[in-house]
Amino acid sequence: MSVVCALELLGVFFSAGAWLCSLATTLMSTWLTLSTDLLPTESYELGLWETCVVQELGALECRPYDSLLGLPPDIKLARILMCLTVATGLLGFLLAIPGMYVVNSCDSRLEDIKFKRVMKMIGGTLGLTAGVLCLIPVSYIAHLTVVRFFDDNVPDVVPRWEFGDALFCGWTAGFLHLVAGVLLLTSCLCLQEQNCNIPVPIPLVRVHSARSSYKTHSEYV
């Protein structure tokens, strides 16, 4: 059981860290950054919810998007998928905690162990789903940025967007979600194998002979 407990604790730990990273990625305004030689004292940041202007002295001025329908398709897709990532990762984390073997481990009934394994398996599956949902928008926006950066149709004097810190945070969140899901599912498999190897006790049945039964009845006659 020590291996199962270690896998569970690592899975829950990575799941919590992945959810925090995915939440930070969703809220950060540094998905893409842009700086120009014409205005070296200012740089621009592009996020899912707002755009910001960073001045040389450290002043930050952000402006939220005016309309949802007027957003580019990649930003709308990233916003939807990242919100699903945060919700799915949180649900998987909340289901994995009561499914841990170390929680209320004094009750070792077979039905409770099966119920814990099911909850933990659902939590691990949701963790894998959150990892895929997180990697899709981050990688898609990174792909579009690379394509637009090396577009030959755009003049060299035109500034181009580059990777921001939020993309790297999103890749980290997706990787941690996948690792957490794998660890939780692996702990379920290990716990199932250990339960299968437990010997089943065979109840002993005392057989009374007919002679002893007759003797007992004859004593009362």
Q: Confirm if 166 and 31 have CB atoms less than 8 A apart.
A: yes
pLDDT digits (tens, 9 = 90+) for 92-115: 999 999 888 777 654 556 566 788
The pLDDT value given to residue 102: 75
Burial 40-70 (b: 16+ CB within 10 A, else e): eeebbbbbbeebbebeeeeeeeeeeeeeeee
Q: How far is it, in rounded angstroms, from Cα 180 to Cα 71? A: 33
Mean pLDDT on 119-130: 94
The values of phi and psi at residue 176, to 5°, are: -65, -35
Please enumerate in sequence order all residues whose Cβ is within 8 A of that of 114, keeping only pairs 6 or more positions apart, or say none: none
Q: Confirm if 15 and 127 have CB atoms less than 8 A apart.
A: yes
pLDDT digits (tens, 9 = 90+) for 8-49: 899 999 999 999 999 999 999 999 999 877 777 788 999 999
To the nearest whole percent, how much of the chain has pLDDT over 70?
Answer: 81
Q: pTM of this prediction?
A: 0.81
Name all domains of the chain by residue range, CATH numbers in brackets.
2-30+69-196 (1.20.140.150)
